[in-house]
Amino acid sequence: MFFPPNNLFSRGTSEQGDGNTDFFPSINVSPGAATRSVLSVNKRFLPQVPVKIKNIFRTNRHYDKEERKSCIRENASGRNKKTMGKAKILAVTACPVGIAHTYMAAENLQKAGEALGVDIKVETQGSIGVENPLTEKDIAEADGIIIAADKEVPKERFAGKRVLITGVQDGIKRPEELIKQVLEGDVPIYRPQTAAADADQKSVRKENPVYRHLMSGVSYMVPFIVVGGLLIALSLSLGGEQTPKGIVIPDDSFWKHIERLGAASFMFMVPILAGFIAVSIADRPGLVPGMIGGYIAANGSFYGSEAGAGFIGGIIAGFLAGYVALAIKRIKVPKAVQPVMPIIFIPIISSLIVGLLLIFVIGAPVAKLFEFLTDWLATMEGGSSIVLAMILGAMIAFDMGGPLNKVAFLFGAAMIGEGNYSIMGPIAVAICIPPIGMGLATFINKRKYSQEEWEAGKAAFTMGLFGITEGAIPFAARDPLRVIPSIIVGSMAGSVIAMIGNVGDRVAHGGPIVAVLGAVDNVFMFFVAAIIGSFVTAFMVNLLKKDVEDGNGKAAKREKKEKSAADEDQKPSDSAETPENFKLADLTNMNLIEPELKGSTRDEIIHEMIEMLDKEGILSSKEEFKKAIFNREKEGSTGLGMAIAIPHGKSAGVKRPAVAFGLKRDGVNWNSIDGNDAKLIFMLAVPERAAGNAHLKILQMLSRKLMDETFRSRLLNVQSKEEAYRLLGEIQ
């Protein structure tokens, strides 16, 4: 019979306190290979020992469930510091709007952690961006992570850690339970392989996967085209010499080396496109077959073609490589083979399949198709080229950065790689017309636009100069029926003029910036086309739009003139220049405070407070803001419990950030998370595109301050507007 060594076990009193003596593991037992050997030799002996011997062989950092519960109790009373030290918990809070719930959950988790004697750090992902970010060191030292969020939060950085994923309201309502659940180990370990399953499946289904994969490849390809085009344009403009065959750079010139660098950048265009399409589909295992397939597509010598299959072949190669690699990934293999699958078997097998298909089946037919397309575009003249320019201009302007815009852009960028710059020329003009045109429209006729739109017009004009079409989006979102047709017509006009004027663009970008940098052929006609197209947009949109000063606009102006100097001092401001001196009082005034709300239901209260904001001139469109408020309520109640409700919304119908406060002394049902009626009601109005973020910091401070029970009690007992205003002024 086998007997264990004398020093393997020592005697001690059992935890039950019954006086019995049991075997307990001594400190001489290590969790290494030697002790595992002891277990394997004497399996029959070990069950006779009345102790959970398996715990010996866990790493020192792990405890069973009962031990974890004990540690929590002792941590809370400060008795366990010597044996275990403070547990460290990390948390991330986020909500769709990122104004109130995000910071309330953070505050409650922080307080609960302190009460339990836990070292806790909370990262907030609000409208002002990420604050108090978690570092790699924080994550490495953490015992667990809580994600209390109602929107997608990236989780890859937490791989291998225990991660509890829940809603933001749980962070507000039951923070102690969440922390205890993590400390007890009743939380799964997050693994990278499950990341896809944790993604928001609804949004993924709505987005066309083919489009998503294609745009992923394009996003990596574009920098190579931009660098290559600019280097070639720079070398031609500074080192080129005029010859009967055009501008040529002498072989012995320094600028010839710059031109070659640009050409080298172009050589990567199709392989990069194909490679990252495949990566989008199959992750890293798709990179090698994708890039090899892209290289074969771009190099016609593999299948007897001078031109190659071009970007069309690259797209086909990318999708083929991605789905072949994905199919091989899904094949079940023995565990011993799994570690080498992504670095040996998947790349080799998928590269062979993709490469051979391109060489013997796909390459030659696609090359002929691409060669025909290139020749057709090169020989286009007259009516056909004008029609193409109109189509491209309309696609660029229609959705400004959306699918149609990107397809047209990809087409032009691909033609650059084939040496055809006349397609990208009209596109480069169309790219800048929507933002420049809307900027001009606000300068030409200010009566058609609000103060906020004047500021947006300045920003749009500047963005247009740098080829950023999205500068016109705020105008299109607010008034699509008038703005979108106007920018489409203007972009079509500019594109046609550019096509007729033989404008070429050697860089996959648009706007005057590319002309200034020397990447445009026929610069004069480029500016003629851009200016005419922009003015067409400006005059058309101003012709269609009505004066914003009609009706309520004029009344609001007269109302402002009649305000007293004291009211002017209290007027809400959206200044973000001195956030360190900012107070909640800067976002409200006496007219936005009502200590005796009259409504008897949630909806009546909301309408009443919207009227307060509208009368104070905060809103440019009452209906738009009302829609934003009720849409937010549909996502989840803004009744936060503790007698608090914070209805809030971002809307194009808001001129400047403001806070309205109302007191409903007998309470109103707000479907609060604790089931109690709401009495303290704050309505937050935020412009859709606020210039600064100081007001959002105030909203964060408001959310945190409302966690103070004494402050809430004082606020519940105010008797006048003046008293409430003074109390709110303490938040700074």
The most confident of the ranges 196-210, 356-370, 527-541 is: 527-541
Under 8 Å between Cβ of 263 and 232: yes
CA distance 486 to 544: 9
β-bridge mates for residue 686, sequence order? 650
> Where does residue 502 fall: left (phi above 0), alpha (psi -120 to 50 degrees), or beta otherwise?
left
* Strand pairing category for 520-521 and 504-505: antiparallel
439 residue type, one letter = G
Examine the domain organization and report whether 572 and 463 are in the same domain: no
Number of independent structural domains in the chain: 5
Residue 696 has a pLDDT of 60
Q: How confident is the model at residue 277 (pLDDT cuts 50, 70, 90)?
A: very high
452 is written with which tokens? 């906020």
The answer to which of 156-165, 188-197, 222-231, 284-293 has the lowest mean pLDDT is 188-197
Angle CA 613–617–621, to nearest 5: 80
Compare 363 and 152 and report the one with higher pLDDT: 363
| Boundary of a domain, candidates 152, 167, 192 | 192
Domain-located, residue 200: no
Contacts with 256 (C-beta within 8 Å, 6 or more apart), sequence order: 235, 239, 249, 250
CA distance 644 to 667: 10
Residue 223 has a pLDDT of 81
Domain-located, residue 552: no
Write down the pTM of the prediction: 0.45
Residue 695 has a pLDDT of 52
CA 535 to chain centre: 34
Residues taking part in catalysis? 95, 648
Residue 579 has a pLDDT of 44
Compare 517 and 119 and report the one with higher pLDDT: 119
Where do we find the tokens 């997050």?
A: 190
CA distance 446 to 547: 9
CA distance 498 to 424: 10
Where do we find the tokens 């978690």?
A: 134
Q: How confident is the model at residue 208 (pLDDT cuts 50, 70, 90)?
A: low
Compare 29 and 174 and report the one with higher pLDDT: 174
Examine the domain organization and report whether 617 and 722 are in the same domain: yes
| Boundary of a domain, candidates 338, 361, 379 | 379
pLDDT tens string 545-575: 887 644 344 433 433 443 443 344 444 444 4
- Mean pLDDT across 521-545: 93
CA distance 615 to 74: 57
Examine the domain organization and report whether 349 and 469 are in the same domain: no
Cβ atoms < 10 Å from Cβ of 225: 26
Examine the domain organization and report whether 433 and 479 are in the same domain: yes
Examine the domain organization and report whether 576 and 520 are in the same domain: no
701 is written with which tokens? 């401070």
Question: Which strand (E) or helix (H) includes residue 559?
Answer: helix 552-561
Where do we find the tokens 């004494």?
A: 710
Residue 673 has a pLDDT of 66
Domain-located, residue 3: no
Extract the runs of DSSP E, i.e. beta strands, from 494-638.
504-505, 520-521, 593-594
Domain-located, residue 553: no
> Where does residue 672 fall: left (phi above 0), alpha (psi -120 to 50 degrees), or beta otherwise?
beta
Over 80: is that where the pLDDT of 38 sits? Answer: no
Residue 133 carries which DSSP code? P
| Three-state helix/strand/coil letters over 304-327 | CCCCCCHHHHHHHHHHHHHHHHHH
Compare 202 and 320 and report the one with higher pLDDT: 320
CA distance 716 to 711: 9
The answer to which of 79-93, 482-496, 644-658, 677-691 has the lowest mean pLDDT is 79-93
310 residue type, one letter = G
- Mean pLDDT across 327-340: 84
Over 50: is that where the pLDDT of 42 sits? Answer: no
Over 90: is that where the pLDDT of 450 sits? Answer: no
Examine the domain organization and report whether 661 and 513 are in the same domain: no
Compare 119 and 478 and report the one with higher pLDDT: 119
- Mean pLDDT across 634-640: 77
Compare 29 and 138 and report the one with higher pLDDT: 138
Over 80: is that where the pLDDT of 635 sits? Answer: no
Cβ atoms < 10 Å from Cβ of 439: 27
Over 50: is that where the pLDDT of 15 sits? Answer: no
Q: What is the largest CA-CA distance in the chain?
A: 108
What CATH number is attached to the domain comprising 626? Answer: 3.40.930.10
What does pLDDT average to over the chain? 77
Domain-located, residue 639: yes
Residue 246 has a pLDDT of 57
Phi, psi at 450, each rounded to 5°: -80, 170
CA distance 190 to 158: 7
Over 80: is that where the pLDDT of 329 sits? Answer: yes
Examine the domain organization and report whether 390 and 504 are in the same domain: yes
Residues of the domain holding 590: 558-728
Domain-located, residue 551: no
Cβ atoms < 10 Å from Cβ of 553: 14
pLDDT tens string 68-123: 555 544 444 444 443 345 789 999 998 755 556 787 788 889 988 988 989 999 99
Domain-located, residue 550: no
Examine the domain organization and report whether 174 and 242 are in the same domain: no
Over 50: is that where the pLDDT of 137 sits? Answer: yes
- Mean pLDDT across 578-588: 64
Residue 231 has a pLDDT of 83
Residue 319 has a pLDDT of 95
| Boundary of a domain, candidates 379, 414, 429 | 379
Angle CA 593–595–597, to nearest 5: 95
Report percent pLDDT > 90 for the chain.
24
Examine the domain organization and report whether 155 and 243 are in the same domain: no
The answer to which of 90-94, 169-173, 479-483, 608-612 has the lowest mean pLDDT is 169-173
Examine the domain organization and report whether 576 and 711 are in the same domain: yes
Domain-located, residue 302: yes
Q: Closest Cα to residue 593, out of 607, 568, 612, 610? A: 612
| Three-state helix/strand/coil letters over 199-254 | CCHHHHHHCCHHHHHHHHHHHHHHHHHHHHHHHHHHHHHHHCEEECCEEECCCCCH
Cβ atoms < 10 Å from Cβ of 230: 20
Compare 625 and 8 and report the one with higher pLDDT: 625
Examine the domain organization and report whether 685 and 719 are in the same domain: yes
Under 8 Å between Cβ of 143 and 87: yes
Where do we find the tokens 């919207």?
A: 610
Compare 194 and 308 and report the one with higher pLDDT: 308
Over 50: is that where the pLDDT of 25 sits? Answer: no
Residue 26 has a pLDDT of 40
What CATH number is attached to the domain comprising 155? Answer: 3.40.50.2300
CA distance 536 to 492: 10
Under 8 Å between Cβ of 415 and 388: no
- Mean pLDDT across 135-160: 87
Under 8 Å between Cβ of 101 and 85: no
Residue 468 has a pLDDT of 78
Under 8 Å between Cβ of 171 and 178: yes
CA distance 185 to 176: 14
Examine the domain organization and report whether 265 and 406 are in the same domain: no
| Three-state helix/strand/coil letters over 440-470 | HHHHHCHHHCCHHHHHHHHHHHHHHHCCCHH
pLDDT tens string 367-418: 888 777 767 766 665 678 888 899 999 989 987 766 677 778 878 887 877 7
Helix, strand, or coil (residue 663): strand
Residue 545 has a pLDDT of 87
Under 8 Å between Cβ of 380 and 388: yes
